[in-house]
Chains A and B, each alone.
Chain A
């Protein structure tokens, strides 16, 4: 039984600098409650919204990246509902059926599904640009156990993109891949840092043949997108296999218990009293398209195509593109090396792996060395100056510790007098030599190890040591 999945992804434009309609900060994290507020985002009477140009441009860039139809003007609409975290009791968004033109309609995203390394395609129904509400805080723990609710308006008015897909996604794993690829696309635009807490939320619709559509709300990470849908898929399949009926409903993802739960209230037919916002004249898109276009110039897809075009395997290219600083380094350094595949491996596999081991983030540019350092290192590896073991074990960890260090300071000494050491070892381990001479090939490994140990932190190629030992001992 194959599921049909459609997604509604809400992404904060944390890169927009300020909120959608005022000068308060778009990234409110770490601020004391209700300190990132002003009359506009508190909805005080008489305060007027003025669209944040950067947010609109980023939204248009997203629309371009998703190959949308972009209307001539964006028309903001008021959507009314009473809720404590919504200070005006309406949200400014767009709604085409009430004369409010959204940022985009009918787009498509081609996304890479790393399970099988295939490209998939999901149609985009529309993108809205809207205000995030404030945040309800329950001092007693949860909505159920708390006597009172506190509201923090620091988030109120943060620009939010609502991206709605058609039901084109074939599996929970693909849904996760879609969201990851979408977030990466938006990150390249400069619109969002998806690693910030609460920077995106996902609502997912899933149905199985013979069942109604179920909406799962409140999914907060890409891993949970897969988990929630996997859970819901199994739950619905079980019901259908037992001959039951899957009702149309809205469920809530409980990340802690890893299960979906029905929402307590039956949803009423919502009446949002949509109305074009009279405080906001239509925002003409044409004058902003050039600016938006510049933001989509380096899309993940374009980079992947460029990097794989250099002969780099897709897995390695994907690893590079997932970390923006690695991708920039690659593009900067690729012209200065003979074989870009060596550079790609250094960046996407070795250095990124070392960062992970060291517990440092691959998304922070300051954790990466300058392009010149990486290019020189790649050339040294190409020329066989240092064996891979030395690069992985000595040079890269040195750079991870201090990315600004000059290459010279992290390069190990060349092992001078290797032959003398080999002779030393042959003299020191007569038993091993004897074993080897009598046909125990593994004794040679032991001797190689001893040579490397005596060389300490100096760089040496184990194959070279083996060759020298064999030469001295007469090939066994």
Chain B
């Protein structure tokens, strides 16, 4: 275990040295990447060194941009022009996007150095990082365990400190769960706060690109760069992210935290203990903690998976082997090409979700499944919005400690159950922040949920929690 200082502070005081930081990162990569498997694509070292030297020059000349020379990892479902974007699938093993995602455009404009594209569950469908066509990612805190998914590589590379910031995407917990398993910080933003343009879609109405880091302030820093309106995303909202420099920890006396009993009950003992430990220390400092019943908790996973699978079936229809060809095909007709590509190039979990998605949208089933799920979603959203108007919801991010590799693969329901705590924020469109509460014996994380556009509340409370836990900047190496 190691603790690093705040990147934001180094940048602000001008002591950040991109050339030195890159050399350290390249050393960590050479030592750990083969085992961890956090990256699907790494940029050539020479090119990275050149960019670091250029950034260093700009810093010395006083021309530093907000993220000048900062090392960033980008999840492989986010488009970077000319750089392979596989989304963890064989289907896109040769696809090089001809355009940058909106967030990548902003990163590049801010002077960040993109180190590579990170490993992930295929098309973001998975909660452990094991459903990647490019092999599973391992958890740097315990190489026998999963780092969580689907933003597995982004979380893992932060945990072994090869980068200081990372982009993930969160459809039902895909940023927060891996952040919880790797003791890092991750935000699922308010729906519409970050442009989805360039994000290879899984379930458009649920997902957001979000920032990942090792501390709340660094995360807020990245968030201030990527958030804000994009006129080319019709679901984007007018929104000004909080200023990362002026953020202060919230006064504990002013904290009102609401805790859903159902989620606490569903958590295994070590998780519960760590989380309740945090609650009592907050309470000791003067915070108000309230428990409430959330009887809809049993409905969130069925509703979430029904909607996500329906949208997935639709989004993945375009992969028919013709516009994204990348295999030796024996097909003689277009129909054969379709069947061949979708049979050979999609993994099992993706096929399962497409099949279920087609079912729930079919005539005769749509009302019973898709339409009903949409109704439950509205109900859950209304309830949650009612609560976050009054207080911040706090709960463990994952009901369990990081599972061992292979442990959750046998039964899909066991896999989906990992998302019990996280999917609610996606159904409701509200922001949710995950941050570590303990790393002994294994990482446990807490999740805070606020009103739409309430990221500032999350950051302030997050800074207070970091004061209590002392885990800001922690990494496994």
- Tell me if B469 is interfacial: C-beta within 8 Å of chain A: no
Give the residue of A50, A98, A275 whose beta carbon is less than 8 angstroms from that of B234: A50
**With contact pairs A46-B97, A48-B232, A278-B205 given, residues A273 and B196 touching in the complex (Cβ less than 8 Å):** no
Residues in chain A near residue B311, CB distance under 8 A: 275, 278
CB–CB A80/B334 < 8 A: no
C-alpha gap A84/B309 in the complex (Å): 24
**With contact pairs A39-B98, A275-B361 given, residues A46 and B234 touching in the complex (Cβ less than 8 Å):** no
CB–CB B234/A45 < 8 A: no
C-alpha gap A273/B338 in the complex (Å): 18
CB–CB A78/B314 < 8 A: yes
CB–CB A89/B97 < 8 A: no
Residues in chain B near residue A393, CB distance under 8 A: none
- Tell me if A87 is interfacial: C-beta within 8 Å of chain B: yes
The A28-87 residues at the B interface (CB cut-off 8 A) are: 39, 42-51, 78, 80, 82, 84, 87
Q: Report the minimum CB–CB distance from A53 to chain B (whole Å).
A: 12
CB–CB B318/A89 < 8 A: yes
Q: Report the minimum CB–CB distance from A43 to chain B (whole Å).
A: 5
C-alpha gap A280/B203 in the complex (Å): 13
- Tell me if B233 is interfacial: C-beta within 8 Å of chain A: yes
Give the residue of B98, B201, B203, B362 whose beta carbon is less than 8 angstroms from that of A273: B362
The A68-123 residues at the B interface (CB cut-off 8 A) are: 78, 80, 82, 84, 87-90, 98
Q: Report the minimum CB–CB distance from A288 to chain B (whole Å).
A: 15
Residues in chain A near residue B97, CB distance under 8 A: 39, 44-46
C-alpha gap A82/B334 in the complex (Å): 10
**With contact pairs A44-B97, A46-B97 given, residues A273 and B313 touching in the complex (Cβ less than 8 Å):** yes
CB–CB A82/B204 < 8 A: no
CB–CB B323/A42 < 8 A: yes
C-alpha gap A271/B358 in the complex (Å): 10
CB–CB A84/B322 < 8 A: yes
Give the residue of B85, B201, B318 whose beta carbon is less than 8 angstroms from that of A87: B318
The B169-215 residues at the A interface (CB cut-off 8 A) are: 196-201, 203-205
- Tell me if A279 is interfacial: C-beta within 8 Å of chain B: yes
C-alpha gap A45/B317 in the complex (Å): 11
**With contact pairs A87-B318, A273-B362, A279-B235 given, residues A149 and B334 touching in the complex (Cβ less than 8 Å):** yes
CB–CB B314/A45 < 8 A: no
Residues in chain A near residue B197, CB distance under 8 A: 46-48
**With contact pairs A48-B233, A51-B234, A278-B204 given, residues A89 and B317 touching in the complex (Cβ less than 8 Å):** yes
- Tell me if B82 is interfacial: C-beta within 8 Å of chain A: no
Q: Report the interface size for chain A: residues with CB under 8 A from the other chain.
A: 29
CB–CB A273/B358 < 8 A: yes
In the complex, residue of chain A having the shortest beta-carbon distance to the beta carbon of B207: A278
Q: Report the minimum CB–CB distance from A150 to chain B (whole Å).
A: 11
Residues in chain B near residue A89, CB distance under 8 A: 317-318, 320
- Tell me if A274 is interfacial: C-beta within 8 Å of chain B: yes
The A262-297 residues at the B interface (CB cut-off 8 A) are: 271, 273-275, 278-281
CB–CB A46/B362 < 8 A: no
Q: Report the minimum CB–CB distance from B236 to chain A (whole Å).
A: 9
**With contact pairs A45-B87, A87-B323, A279-B235 given, residues A98 and B366 touching in the complex (Cβ less than 8 Å):** yes
Residues in chain A near residue B235, CB distance under 8 A: 278-279, 281
**With contact pairs A39-B98, A46-B101 given, residues A271 and B314 touching in the complex (Cβ less than 8 Å):** no
CB–CB B92/A45 < 8 A: yes
Residues in chain A near residue B150, CB distance under 8 A: none
Residues in chain A near residue B199, CB distance under 8 A: 46
CB–CB B234/A279 < 8 A: yes
Please, what's the 1-or-0 string for B84-101, where 1 marks a CB less than 8 Å from any CB in chain A?
Answer: 010100001001011101
CB–CB A82/B317 < 8 A: yes
Q: Report the minimum CB–CB distance from A41 to chain B (whole Å).
A: 12
Residue of A48, A49, A84 contacting most chain B CB atoms (<10 Å)? A48
CB–CB B310/A275 < 8 A: yes
Give the residue of B232, B313, B334 whose beta carbon is less than 8 angstroms from that of A50: B232
In the complex, residue of chain A having the shortest beta-carbon distance to the beta carbon of B310: A275
Residues in chain B near residue A280, CB distance under 8 A: 234
C-alpha gap A50/B234 in the complex (Å): 6
CB–CB B205/A273 < 8 A: no
CB–CB B362/A45 < 8 A: no
Residues in chain A near residue B78, CB distance under 8 A: 46
CB–CB B234/A48 < 8 A: yes
- Tell me if B137 is interfacial: C-beta within 8 Å of chain A: no
Q: Report the minimum CB–CB distance from B86 to chain A (whole Å).
A: 11
C-alpha gap A280/B77 in the complex (Å): 21
- Tell me if B131 is interfacial: C-beta within 8 Å of chain A: no
- Tell me if B154 is interfacial: C-beta within 8 Å of chain A: no
CB–CB B196/A49 < 8 A: no
C-alpha gap A42/B98 in the complex (Å): 11
C-alpha gap A273/B314 in the complex (Å): 8
Residues in chain B near residue A275, CB distance under 8 A: 310-311, 314, 361, 370
CB–CB B231/A50 < 8 A: yes
Please, what's the 1-or-0 string for B339-380, where 1 marks a CB less than 8 Å from any CB in chain A?
Answer: 000000000000000000010011100100010000000000
C-alpha gap A95/B311 in the complex (Å): 17
C-alpha gap A89/B337 in the complex (Å): 14
- Tell me if B426 is interfacial: C-beta within 8 Å of chain A: no
CB–CB A43/B101 < 8 A: no
Residue of A98, A271, A273 contacting most chain B CB atoms (<10 Å)? A273
- Tell me if B79 is interfacial: C-beta within 8 Å of chain A: yes
Residues in chain A near residue B200, CB distance under 8 A: 45-46
Please, what's the 1-or-0 string for B28-66, where 1 marks a CB less than 8 Å from any CB in chain A?
Answer: 000000000000000000000000000000000000000
Give the residue of A39, A44, A90, A149 whose beta carbon is less than 8 angstroms from that of B314: A90
Residues in chain B near residue A274, CB distance under 8 A: 361, 366
CB–CB B363/A45 < 8 A: no
Residues in chain B near residue A51, CB distance under 8 A: 234
In the complex, residue of chain A having the shortest beta-carbon distance to the beta carbon of B196: A48
Residues in chain A near residue B205, CB distance under 8 A: 278
Residues in chain A near residue B322, CB distance under 8 A: 84
Residues in chain B near residue A278, CB distance under 8 A: 203-205, 235, 311
**With contact pairs A82-B317, A280-B234 given, residues A271 and B198 touching in the complex (Cβ less than 8 Å):** no
Residues in chain B near residue A39, CB distance under 8 A: 97-99
The B67-119 residues at the A interface (CB cut-off 8 A) are: 77-79, 85, 87, 92, 95, 97-99, 101
C-alpha gap A80/B205 in the complex (Å): 18
In the complex, residue of chain A having the shortest beta-carbon distance to the beta carbon of B235: A281
Known A39-B98, A46-B79, A84-B322; further 6 A-B contacts with Cβ < 8 A = A45-B97, A46-B201, A49-B234, A50-B232, A89-B318, A275-B311
A-B contacts, 23 of them at CB < 8 A, read: A43-B323, A45-B85, A45-B87, A45-B92, A45-B95, A45-B97, A45-B200, A48-B196, A49-B234, A50-B233, A78-B314, A80-B317, A82-B338, A87-B323, A89-B318, A90-B314, A149-B334, A273-B313, A273-B314, A273-B362, A275-B314, A275-B361, A278-B235
The 4 closest A-B pairs by CB, nearest first: A278-B205, A89-B317, A278-B204, A45-B200
